[in-house]
Every structure is written in C-alpha cells, then in structure tokens.
Amino acid sequence: MSIEVFINGQYYPKAEAKVSVYDHGLLYGDGVFEGMRSYSGKVFRHDEHIDRLYDSARSILLEIPMEKEALKQAVNDTLKKNNLVDAYIRLLVTRGAGELGLDPAKTEDPRIIIITDHIKLYPQELYDNGLKIITAATIRNHPAALSPRIKSLNYLNNIMAKIEGIQAGCAEALMLNHKGEVAECTGDNIFIVRGGALYTPPIDAGILEGITRNAVIELAEKAGIQVHQIPFTRYDIYVAEECFLTGSAAEVIPVIEVDTRSIGDGKVGPITKQLYKAFHELVRS
C-alpha cells in the first residue's frame, strides 16, 4: 500500500513528500508536533491533541495557518486517503523555509504535515510479560530553559536518553528532572502502584501532560482506584508493587524491572492488567 502524505493541502506519495532544506524545522528543530492514534477510523481524543498542538505553537509564537476544525478534517481525510482505520498519526507544523539564522521572522509559509501509517513500538511479548528499563544519566531539560509541555520538534534530549537505554539492552529509559525526581521515560509517562493506589509525577515535575496519561487517570478513578499526582524518586519505583508506561504510540505497557531491580514479583500486576484492558475497551467503544 502506498502511503500519501499531506503537506499544506496537497498529497504526495511517501517517497516524494519533501520540505525545503531551508525549513527551520529541519535546520533548528523549530516547530511542534502531535502523535495520535485512530481506532476503528476514529481519532482518539482528537480535540485534546489538536488543542495541545495549538497551545504548543502559541507558546513559541508559531501561527498555524489553518483553523482547528479544518485541521481535524484534514487528519480524518488523510486517514481515508490511505484507507486506514487503525493507525498512528504524526501531525507536524514547522516554522517554514527561510534564510539561514535563528530569526523566525526570516521564514514564511509554515508547513503542516500529516503522516498516517502503522507503528509498533514494542512486540506483543513485552505487553504480555513487561519491559525492563534503566535510568538514563541524561536528565529532562530544565523547565526554565524549555517548558516540557511544549511538544517541539527538537527531541535530542529524549534521543540521547533513548540511546543510553538501547546500549544497556533496554527498549526504554527513565529520565529524572533537575531535582533528581522521576519525570518520565523518553517517550512515555510513568505510573507506579503502591498499596493499591496509583502514583504518577505531577505536571510540574518536568513532564509532558500526556493524553493517554490523562485517559488512564480517568479510567483508574472511575474504577475506584485512588490516583496521586505527587513527586517521587527512584526509591519509590524500586519498592513499588507495579509499574507501567503510557503514551499514544505505546498505549499502556507494563514494566517489570528498573535498574536491574524487579518490580514487585517481577510479573505484570493486576492493576496494570486491569487498566490495560480498560484502556483498550475505551478506545474501541
């Protein structure tokens, strides 16, 4: 199947979908993006993703040359164009092409790019049996330097931590914030279970406020599971009964080992299984 990519109102075959080498998104990582999922032809939490994209753009003074509803329709149209119902969607807005130099005023025509395709971050075996992760030496960017709530095109911070995980034989890596507190993993939010309650770092711990994270919090509260959004350290993970990660691409995936320490009994826990099942029921409802 040939994938068609949307760029500023036109469709291009995957191999021909290009932007200028002078685009500031390429030159300087100047732009924003969202990663979304569609299930049975419907984009999950579409409004929340679009709102977050526009918030990210507004915070960096990037004007998206399209109204929200029109952009949502373009996403849906791109899914249909590629005959996709269960898919991963990468929606990007770059600053556009311009002259060399950091000045955004020297650019014009921001690029809106919509990619719809399939993604499989982890094999099913890891969803069944759990991930092993390590803590990266690379920390999250200081929030005073760049807000972690901006989903920008510059992901080098996360990529360096990801490389550490891969070199340690792990598919994912945990990142701490500048205070030494648990923040998130390179592409996912993190949860632990202690005493039957759910714990996850708060927004001010230097994390991205994940759409899937918020959905899981809602599901837990609906099921009568207490949820605490409070700072914690690696110690709290080491002594936790369960641990799992959430993200649009990863969905909900269990973690059974952190820094060579088994979490709980080293098996996927009951609350993780419960929320994994509830999430998949939610996205299919």
**Residues catalogued as catalytic:** 151
CA 49 to chain centre: 11
Tracing tokens 């959905």 back to the chain, one arrives at 215
Classify 187 as helix, strand or coil.
coil
CA distance 219 to 140: 28
Q: Which residues contact 78 (CB under 8 A, 6 or more apart)?
A: 4, 5, 6, 11, 89, 114, 116
Q: In terms of Cα–Cα distance, which of 174, 244, 250, 238 is closest to 207?
A: 174
- Other Cβ atoms less than 10 A from the Cβ of 5: the count is 22
CA distance 187 to 204: 17
CA distance 43 to 49: 10
What is the amino acid identity at position 100?
Answer: L
Q: In terms of Cα–Cα distance, which of 248, 194, 261, 277 is closest to 39?
A: 248
For 152, list phi and psi in degrees, rounded to 5.
-90, 165
Structure tokens, 90? 């990468």
